Amino acid sequence: MAWFAARRYRPRDIILGQYAGIAALFAASVAASLLAWVLPATDLAWLGVVPIALGASRLLKKKTEGEGEAPMPPSGVLPVAAVTVANGADNLGVYIPLFATSTPSAIAIMGVTFAAMTALWCWAARWLVHHPAAGAPIRRQGPRAVPYVLIGIGLWILLR
């Protein structure tokens, strides 16, 4: 997301775009998880294979050479929301089986948690922009941790 730093986005656009993107991902996941009601309860745990597969594929994926920065989109709320959805589309593979095996109250708590965490992530991103020394290690280590987190979530769903 280097284009956020390269372009002068208004903080309001970034925050509203993040919330719009997270809300779209959350709503799509809840809607898709409702389809799981047609599956037998014993089969729902097998949906945990999806995040495990996503994590494993990220572990096995080789970094392609010559990867450049994506072109900068126009400024505003909608481009930020679109990037959030595009970057988080693989989250559907985690959220759908998680929501399908959760109670409605647990899903509501997760929604509130997502909203709170979005605020926290926006604050943390702003902090990192102002402290570039802290951002470098996170940019290096973050992509390495994601596959393990996905595999852990998948195992948790399988073992529930």
Q: pLDDT for 54-97, tens place per residue?
A: 778 878 875 544 445 445 545 678 877 877 776 676 778 788 88
In-domain check, residue 3: no
Number of domains in the chain: 1
**125 φ/ψ angles, rounded to the nearest 5 degrees:** -65, -40
How far apart, in whole angstroms, are the C-alpha atoms of residue 74 and residue 58? 29
In-domain check, residue 66: no
In-domain check, residue 99: yes
H or E segment and range at residue 22: helix 11-34
In-domain check, residue 143: yes
In-domain check, residue 110: yes
pLDDT at 23: 93
Structural domain containing residue 114: 10-61+71-159
Report residue 3's pLDDT band, with 50, 70 and 90 as the boundaries.
Answer: very low
* CA angle (150 as vertex; 136, 137 as ends), nearest 5: 10
Q: Assign residue 73 a region (left: φ > 0; alpha: ψ between -120 and 50; beta: otherwise).
A: beta
Flag the least confident range among 28-32, 67-71, 124-128: 67-71
In-domain check, residue 94: yes
Q: For residue 82, which of 125, 18, 126 has the smallest C-alpha distance?
A: 18
In-domain check, residue 152: yes
In-domain check, residue 104: yes
